[in-house]
A and B are shown apart, each in its own frame.
Chain A
Amino acid sequence: MEVSENGKSASLRQAFGNVLSFFILLLVGVLAFSIRLFSVIKYESVIHEFDPYFNYRVTQYLTKKGIYEFWNWFDDRSWYPLGRVIGGTVYPGLTLTAGSIWWLLNSLNVPLSVETVCVFTSPIFSANASWATYLLTKEVKGTGAGLTAAALLAMVPSYISRSVAGSYDNEAVAIFALIFTFYLYLKTLNTGSLFYATLNALSYFYMVCSWGGYTFIINLIPMHVLLCIVTGRYSARLYIAYAPFVVLGTLLASLVPVVGFNAVMTSEHFASFLIFIIIHVVAFVYYIKGLLSQKMFNVAVALVVSFGMVVCCAVVSVLVPLVASSPTKGWSGRSLSLLDPTYASKYIPIIDSVSEHQPPTWPSYFMDINVLAFLVPAGIIACFEPLSDASSFVVLYIVTSVYFSGVMVRLMLVLAPAACIMSGIALSEAFNVLTRSVKFQLSGVPEKSQSGDTTSRIAVTQSEVVKTEKQPPIDKTEDTIKERTSKKNKKKEKEHEEKASLKSQIQKRLLVLPLETSIIAILLLVLLGAFYVVHCVWAAAETYSAPSIVLTSYSDDGLQVFDDFREAYAWLRHNTEVDDKVASWWDYGYQTTAMANRTVIVDNNTWNNTHIATVGTAMSSPEKAAWEIFNSLDVKYVLVVFGGFIGYLGDDIDKFLWMVRIGGGVFPHIKESDYLRDDEYRIDSQAPSTMLNCLMYKLSYYRFVETDGKGFDRARETEIGKKYFELNYFEEVFTTHHWMVRIYKLKSLKNRIRGKAKKSKSSSEGSVTTSLKRSGKIKRNPWH
């Protein structure tokens, strides 16, 4: 009777625990999803910002035309007249994911629009990511830490900033893929199962499909393998976790068109191949070691090392010139700017000009990961006792991601999961110790009164100390036993965990804190957690939910909505010809193609620096030269964003120096110093005449003075320098309600040069003069 009851209660408790953690996970998923809906509730269900519009457009194309058309898609609506091969230059993971969700729903006759699916893809994948975090952390430190980490990740502001509903960007699915790949790696490492190793390669493939950040994985995992080898933790499990991953992963990665041969040709991937060789050598050495006696082995080592050195030297001497022959040493610009933070500002202004490529400030750490920043060190310490393969991996992960986040604000996103895992571990360990000591103290009090014998207690603790000292060697022998039987024993991995937990339990018994202290500490930790939750909800609701195409402000009259961008795009969409070309700074390229459905010259893809420089040059040239550049590009409309009327920062005037810089980088007649007065960028009467006569200034401030009589720019809080001027080569065709977007049309040729045409007629040979004229134009026109 008692037996069955005992067994029942144990299995009941276990079942109850499983159900409880299932529901906690479900709630974490719901939380992750719903915290990202602020943008839909406060604003509307709409695609956000810039890149998501491109992804949305690609998804629309995919759902309309099907997968094969998608791979072959040559987009003639952007980068006019060059066009862009979309199928071969995008990471298709996100698009395919949303496309298949849409397809699935539609085949079940659930009529959701592509837009709705796109808007809600990122919240769905955030829920997935938090579940993946649970799995990953569970592999490292058990269920409790897993649940805590999942809850933390569900609402970490850094991740929210990239995955609110509508933020339909690669990162939204890539973070899930990243965490899941790491989980599968650790799972393989803990079990030594080839099944998980295969899944790991597939998950890596998904990551490669989704985001350029996959290089982080293909560098981090080899680093961890190297670490394991160096610290003498090589095992068959490590080999199974790594070798199939590299082989399969690389093969699969090269299937993605945008990666292709880069998967074997660029330096980002070399580390993995090097470690691949090393792990084979190590495996071989271990094998030999098993065969030979110690003495023979030493001889063999000496022999092989001396021979190996020679071969290595030979290989290196071949490889180095090969790699060095490429100007970037085989590294892509973005990766180089990661390794050398000053690289971009020195060589590639276009990478530097993107605000998310700047290094973050300290407050942004607090804003993005909040209290996690303080919990991470505790988590690292917790990972070191005991240091397992899995925990060493997460330590490596946090260390590298901290570095990368310090280089680029954007990579804070990679740091966030690591910080959540670490903090989850730290919190769960702390709670473990504290609640255990509370429990121990509460149950210990009556025991004490019963026995009334303190000496025995002391004896108990002493003997425990002795035990724990004895424990490790026993464990080790057990370890080896387990190792040998591992192949047969399916539950081995579980036992592994158990032993770890047993060990930690014994250690924990030593960590008994006084009752009051532990209760206060628990309260403080709960308070810390509450603070984190409040901060996250605030960040999600206030900071990260704005779709940036609709701006709102609260004034005395209540809520004011600035919907100017869409007003302008809608106007372009309906009131211009389908084939008209619209020139604007590249920031607005994706939006123009997606929302206005018009051909643009440059867009956010920034793959052709020269082309962007041409537009930059046009914007910073005087009207006539600009007209010639734009005319040579077939441009019919020029779109500028202007915030001076309502005080919107981040408009084209603010970005203007980048246009000058990028333009000047290719066309040297544009000099940054010409636009500055005493190294100061200004638009008031002190500004240099180059500045006041350039196209951007004119298009922005055309007839602006008539609004208030003074021409007071509210964004820069100064009166503009040149107030009254006419446009000779451009004509205003549309300005939005709050003047945020102004659209100009290029005046047509005929009306302008009638006088000149007459002159050329009067000269003897028309054809010669026109060709001469054209050549004259060429000199002035940097496009040619």
Chain B
Amino acid sequence: MGFRFNLFLFLIAMLSTPVLSDLILAKVDRRIDLTSQIVRITSVLKVENAGTDVVSEVLFALPEYQSKNLVFMQAFPNGGKGKTKASTTSLPFQVVNPEGMPPALTFYSVSLPKGLSKGESFTFDVFVVFTHSLRPFPEEITQADSQIVLFQDSAYYLSPYEVKVQSLTVTLPSARVESYTKLHNTKHVDSEIKYGPYEKLPPFSYSPIVIHFENNRPFAVAQQLVREIEISHWGNIQVTEHYNLVHGGAQNKGGFSRLDYQVRAHVRGSSSFRHLTAKLPPRARSVYYRDEIGNISTSHLWGDSRKTELEIEPRYPMFGGWRTSFTIGYGLPLKDFLFESGKKRFLNITFGCPIDDVVVNNLIVKVVLPEGSKDISVATPFVVKQSQEVKYSHLDIAGRPVVVLEKTNVVPEHNVHFQVYYKFNTLSLLREPLMLISGFFLLFITCIVYMHADITISKSSPSYLAKLQWDEVQAAIQQFRSSINRCLVVHDKLEASLRDLSRTGDVQSCKAARKAADGSLKELAKELKPLLAFLQSSPQATQLWPKVEELVAKEREMQEKLMLKHSTVVDSYEKKSGVRDIENRIASLQQKLVALRQDVDELLEFLDEI
């Protein structure tokens, strides 16, 4: 077990005890927060310079079993009680490997804002975060059991310096504690365990403690999270997050009974979790939550001007060891996150996972910049692995540059803003619409060209010639028809003049109409002649010719009959014969005329449809 090893280490440390510098820690206050799956330790250190040299660096030590789980560290000056860390800037620190120190310890050297001269003191906070430091024990539990975890640390502050006064407070999620290491000066009140104060401990003092307590907070671990942030200069930033989630606590054994879970959910199933809450930026829109087999219908969304909250519920309650995967996507207004500085634009957006209390083992953030972006640079508040790739989407030609940022072990503390700077010409925005427009334009142009161009390969082939002839014939027929129609119009005029005659008895005007009609009919006959000659000669019109001929003959006949009728009527009017008499005389003519008109109409209709 690790304890024995640590004890061993401690002994080595005791033996070596080099005097590093003349610093001493006047006061150390440590608070360990164990209320979630993430361990957060805040240490308030008061350093005093007991030596003569001016010291500007303080060493901070962590044993190996902790340093390998360390995911976040921050040191900032403590301006007094009640002051928040936001008001002050953090102190820079770096990993150092001082000589003569036990190799099992990792040292971080914190640079003080100004050197400490003799007798001066300085108070600062060190905030460290560990993941995977709570080990479930037992490792397998049934649905009805609570999850119990182990946490180990040292009751004494492990430091290369002498510590005058120190105390340790451990905050637990509930009052239920299986066991904890009891030293002198140990108090257990409700959900807090206090160690200390201890006074005057030499450097590298170490006293292992183990706390075995109940922790039913969600142990949601995203084994991989891929966040894709796609910028569109049309006004939208699309964020898509792919989660691979697992319940990282004690493994579930012995199956899952829905009955027990539904009847006594808080007892039977206390180690599981149902919801996760994602805090999205304000004005997030078109939020979706789905997995590879479709939408997951169990989610709720609230929003106000400051934030958008998305409560998601995986398809099934998550018990220890159960996995799930899903995707969250949302759009953000561009103007909230994209700014300009000088010639460059930059995206300013949060880095980490928006879901509360999720540890991300491997986070990949991909920022997809618009096609044609140049001079890309990234500013992150911590070290990440960077690379670039190209993504093709939505009618791209050159592809969009993608900045890929990778980081392992990400906790909510990493949820800070980072910036991606790039240059982008706004005119490039018009590229894709123009491409579409020109594409369609070309399509229509080709259609028009195709419709109008004669792409016949052989101009002398019989079928091509036949087609040409046929077109001519059609044109001729068209003309022919219209001439005949005009003839018919003239006929109608004559008839109308006869009706006028019967009404008014004006013989003169009727004769004038007759004269006019004669003239126009003659003209029309002249017009018809070349057409008929053409139709007769054209080989394509052979089928039509009989009809045409028939039509012409019928029209002639009709013309004759009409003239006959007209002159008869006019004559009888001049002779002043009775109406009945006239009707009797022209009755046979009238009947023939009607029949002829019918035939002509039909023939015309036939020609019409060619």
Partner among B324, B396, B485 whose Cβ is within 8 Å of the Cβ of A109: B396
Please state if A463 and B316 are interface contacts (CB–CB under 8 Å).
Answer: no
Q: Is B97 close to A, CB under 8 A?
A: no
Please state if B258 and A737 are interface contacts (CB–CB under 8 Å).
Answer: yes
Bound Cα distance A737, B296 (Å): 13
Cβ contacts under 8 Å, B255 to chain A: 731-734, 745
Please state if A109 and B293 are interface contacts (CB–CB under 8 Å).
Answer: no
Q: Is B291 close to A, CB under 8 A?
A: yes
Known: A459-B594, A707-B259, A732-B256. A44 touches B294 (CB 8 A): yes
The proximity string for B residues 467-486 relative to A, scoring 1 for CB distances below 8 Å and 0 otherwise, is 10010000000110111011
Known: A703-B259, A745-B255. A111 touches B316 (CB 8 A): no
The proximity string for A residues 731-756 relative to B, scoring 1 for CB distances below 8 Å and 0 otherwise, is 11111110100000100000000000
Please state if B259 and A706 are interface contacts (CB–CB under 8 Å).
Answer: yes
Q: Is A46 close to B, CB under 8 A?
A: yes
Q: Is A300 close to B, CB under 8 A?
A: no
Partner among B259, B482, B590 whose Cβ is within 8 Å of the Cβ of A7: B482
Q: Is B437 close to A, CB under 8 A?
A: no
Please state if A571 and B259 are interface contacts (CB–CB under 8 Å).
Answer: no
Please state if B257 and A566 are interface contacts (CB–CB under 8 Å).
Answer: no
For the complex, count residues of A whose C-beta is within 8 A of B: 52
Cβ contacts under 8 Å, B20 to chain A: none
| Shortest Cβ distance from residue B284 to the other chain A in the assembled complex, whole angstroms | 20
Please state if B316 and A734 are interface contacts (CB–CB under 8 Å).
Answer: yes
Cβ contacts under 8 Å, B267 to chain A: none
Bound Cα distance A7, B474 (Å): 11
Known: A485-B543, A502-B605, A595-B293. A733 touches B394 (CB 8 A): no
Q: Is B180 close to A, CB under 8 A?
A: no
B392 to A, closest residue via Cβ: A109
Q: Is B94 close to A, CB under 8 A?
A: no
Partner among A467, A495, A736 whose Cβ is within 8 Å of the Cβ of B258: A736
Please state if B467 and A571 are interface contacts (CB–CB under 8 Å).
Answer: no
Q: Is B393 close to A, CB under 8 A?
A: yes
Interface centre among A109, A464, A485, A739 (most CB of B within 10 A): A109
Q: Is A490 close to B, CB under 8 A?
A: yes
Please state if B323 and A575 are interface contacts (CB–CB under 8 Å).
Answer: yes
Cβ contacts under 8 Å, A463 to chain B: 594-595, 598
Bound Cα distance A505, B470 (Å): 26
Please state if A733 and B295 are interface contacts (CB–CB under 8 Å).
Answer: no
Please state if B594 and A570 are interface contacts (CB–CB under 8 Å).
Answer: no
Please state if B315 and A567 are interface contacts (CB–CB under 8 Å).
Answer: yes
Please state if A2 and B482 are interface contacts (CB–CB under 8 Å).
Answer: yes
| Shortest Cβ distance from residue A13 to the other chain B in the assembled complex, whole angstroms | 12
Please state if B479 and A3 are interface contacts (CB–CB under 8 Å).
Answer: yes
Please state if B294 and A566 are interface contacts (CB–CB under 8 Å).
Answer: yes
B395 to A, closest residue via Cβ: A109
A:97-116 near B, CB below 8 Å: 108-111
B:133-175 near A, CB below 8 Å: none
Partner among B258, B324, B479, B609 whose Cβ is within 8 Å of the Cβ of A502: B609
Please state if A570 and B316 are interface contacts (CB–CB under 8 Å).
Answer: yes
Bound Cα distance A734, B257 (Å): 6
Partner among A502, A563, A739 whose Cβ is within 8 Å of the Cβ of B315: A563
Cβ contacts under 8 Å, A561 to chain B: 297
| Shortest Cβ distance from residue B261 to the other chain A in the assembled complex, whole angstroms | 9
Please state if A735 and B257 are interface contacts (CB–CB under 8 Å).
Answer: yes
For the complex, count residues of B whose C-beta is within 8 A of A: 50
Bound Cα distance A45, B466 (Å): 56
Cβ contacts under 8 Å, B486 to chain A: 2
B:389-436 near A, CB below 8 Å: 392-397
Q: Is A456 close to B, CB under 8 A?
A: yes
Please state if B322 and A498 are interface contacts (CB–CB under 8 Å).
Answer: no
Partner among B257, B482, B543, B602 whose Cβ is within 8 Å of the Cβ of A481: B543
Interface centre among B297, B466, B481 (most CB of A within 10 A): B297
Cβ contacts under 8 Å, A501 to chain B: 609
Bound Cα distance A569, B316 (Å): 11
Bound Cα distance A739, B263 (Å): 13
Bound Cα distance A481, B545 (Å): 14
Q: Is B325 close to A, CB under 8 A?
A: yes
Cβ contacts under 8 Å, B291 to chain A: 570
B:251-268 near A, CB below 8 Å: 254-259, 262-263
Q: Is A491 close to B, CB under 8 A?
A: yes
B:432-470 near A, CB below 8 Å: 463, 466-467, 470
Q: Is B8 close to A, CB under 8 A?
A: no
Q: Is B286 close to A, CB under 8 A?
A: no
Bound Cα distance A573, B543 (Å): 75
Please state if B258 and A739 are interface contacts (CB–CB under 8 Å).
Answer: yes
Please state if B609 and A460 are interface contacts (CB–CB under 8 Å).
Answer: no
Bound Cα distance A217, B470 (Å): 38
Cβ contacts under 8 Å, B602 to chain A: 467
B288 to A, closest residue via Cβ: A44
| Shortest Cβ distance from residue B177 to the other chain A in the assembled complex, whole angstroms | 31
Please state if A110 and B394 are interface contacts (CB–CB under 8 Å).
Answer: yes
Known: A44-B295, A463-B595, A463-B598. A732 touches B393 (CB 8 A): no
Please state if A460 and B470 are interface contacts (CB–CB under 8 Å).
Answer: no
Known: A111-B393, A501-B609, A734-B255. A46 touches B466 (CB 8 A): no
Bound Cα distance A495, B395 (Å): 47
Q: Is A194 close to B, CB under 8 A?
A: no
The proximity string for B residues 587-610 relative to A, scoring 1 for CB distances below 8 Å and 0 otherwise, is 000110011001000100110011
Please state if B257 and A456 are interface contacts (CB–CB under 8 Å).
Answer: no
Bound Cα distance A449, B322 (Å): 91
A:156-214 near B, CB below 8 Å: none
Q: Is A771 close to B, CB under 8 A?
A: no
Cβ contacts under 8 Å, B610 to chain A: 495, 498
Please state if B485 and A490 are interface contacts (CB–CB under 8 Å).
Answer: no
Cβ contacts under 8 Å, A550 to chain B: 294, 297
Residue numbers of B with Cβ under 8 A of A are 254-259, 262-263, 291, 293-298, 315-316, 321-325, 392-397, 463, 466-467, 470, 478-479, 481-483, 485-486, 543, 590-591, 594-595, 598, 602, 605-606, 609-610
A-B contact pairs, 20 of them (CB 8 A): A44-B294, A46-B293, A111-B392, A111-B394, A460-B594, A463-B594, A498-B609, A502-B606, A505-B605, A550-B294, A574-B324, A575-B321, A595-B293, A703-B259, A706-B263, A731-B254, A732-B255, A732-B257, A735-B258, A735-B259
Q: A703-B259, A734-B256, A737-B258 are in contact. List 13 more A-B contacts (CB 8 A).
A: A2-B482, A109-B394, A109-B396, A456-B594, A463-B594, A464-B598, A485-B543, A502-B605, A563-B298, A573-B293, A706-B263, A733-B256, A734-B316
Which 9 A-B residue pairs are closest in the complex by CB-CB distance? A735-B258, A46-B294, A3-B482, A733-B255, A574-B323, A44-B295, A498-B609, A570-B315, A567-B315
